[in-house]
Amino acid sequence: MRVFASAPGKITLFGEHAVVYGEPAITYTIDKRVHVHLKVRGDSTIKIEARGLQVGGAKLVISGEKIEAEVDAQSLMESLSYVHKALEIASEYCGESKGVEILVESELPVGAGLGTSAAVSAATIAAFCRAMEKELSLEELARLAHRVEIEVQGSASPMDTMTVTYGGLLYIKPAERSFERLEWGSLPVVVGFTPRESNTGKLVAGVRRLVEREEDLIMEIIRTIGKLVDRAREALEEENLEMVGSLMNVNHGLLEALGVSTVKLNEMVYAARAAGALGAKLTGAGGGGCMVALCPGREEEVKASLRAVGGIPLECTFSSRGVEVRVVG
Ligand code: PMV
DSSP string, 190-226: EEEEE--SS-HHHHHHHHHHHHHHSHHHHHHHHHHHH
pLDDT 10s digits, 210-219: 999 999 999 9
Q: Which atom in ligand 1 lies closest to the alpha carbon of residue 112?
A: 1
Can you give the pLDDT of all 329 residues of the chain as single tens digits? 899 999 999 999 999 999 999 999 999 999 999 999 999 999 999 999 887 655 556 677 777 767 777 766 666 667 788 999 999 999 999 999 899 999 999 898 877 889 999 999 999 999 999 999 999 999 999 999 999 999 998 889 999 999 999 999 999 999 999 999 998 777 899 999 998 877 888 999 999 999 999 999 999 999 999 999 999 999 999 999 999 999 999 999 999 999 999 999 999 999 999 999 999 999 999 999 999 999 999 999 999 999 999 999 998 899 999 999 999 97
CA 297 to mean position of chain CA atoms = 27
104: DSSP letter: E
Q: Which atom in ligand 1 lies closest to the alpha carbon of residue 10?
A: 3
CB 160 within 8 A of CB 20: no
Separation of CA 114 and ligand 1 centre (Å): 9
Sign of the dihedral through C-alpha 306, 309, 14, 178: positive
* Nearest-CA residue for atom 2 of ligand 1: 113
* Nearest-CA residue for atom 13 of ligand 1: 156
Nearest to 36 by CA among 113, 108, 109, 128: 128
Of 31, 72, 160, 216, catalytic: 160
Answer whether 157 contacts ligand 1 (Cβ < 6 A): yes
- Best of 152, 157, 203 for a ligand 1 pocket test (most atoms within 8 Å of beta carbon): 157
Question: For residue 299, which phi and psi values (nearest 5 degrees)?
Answer: -55, -45
At residue 12, the pLDDT reads 97
Distance CA 215, CA 223 (A): 12
pTM reported for the whole predicted model: 0.93
CB 286 within 8 A of CB 265: yes
At residue 111, the pLDDT reads 74
Distance CA 121, CA 142 (A): 9
At residue 60, the pLDDT reads 72
Question: For residue 309, which phi and psi values (nearest 5 degrees)?
Answer: -105, 15
CB 282 within 8 A of CB 106: no
Distance CA 212, CA 196 (A): 25
Nearest to 275 by CA among 190, 195, 193: 190
At residue 52, the pLDDT reads 67
Separation of CA 17 and ligand 1 centre (Å): 6
CB 119 within 8 A of CB 33: yes
- Best of 159, 191, 196, 225 for a ligand 1 pocket test (most atoms within 8 Å of beta carbon): 159
Separation of CA 151 and ligand 1 centre (Å): 14
Q: Is 72 exposed, middle or buried (0-12, 13-18, 19+ CB in 10 A)?
A: exposed
Q: Is 216 assigned a catalytic role?
A: no
Distance CA 55, CA 324 (A): 25
CATH of 2-181+318-327, one of 3.30.230.10, 3.30.43.10, 3.40.47.10, 3.40.50.2000: 3.30.230.10
Answer whether 200 contacts ligand 1 (Cβ < 6 A): yes
Specify the amino acid at residue 4.
Answer: F
Distance CA 264, CA 245 (A): 20
Distance CA 105, CA 89 (A): 21
CATH 3.40.190.10 fits 189-314, yes or no: no
Separation of CA 98 and ligand 1 centre (Å): 31
Answer whether 115 contacts ligand 1 (Cβ < 6 A): yes
E strands, the chain, where? 2-14, 25-40, 46-52, 56-63, 66-71, 100-106, 169-173, 178-181, 189-194, 279-283, 289-294, 312-314, 324-327
Q: Enumerate the domain spans of the chain.
A: 2-181+318-327, 189-314
pLDDT 10s digits, 177-188: 999 999 877 789
Distance CA 213, CA 220 (A): 13
At residue 73, the pLDDT reads 60
Separation of CA 292 and ligand 1 centre (Å): 15
Separation of CA 252 and ligand 1 centre (Å): 15
* Nearest-CA residue for atom 5 of ligand 1: 284
Q: Which atom in ligand 1 lies closest to the alpha carbon of residue 153?
A: 13
Answer whether 284 contacts ligand 1 (Cβ < 6 A): yes
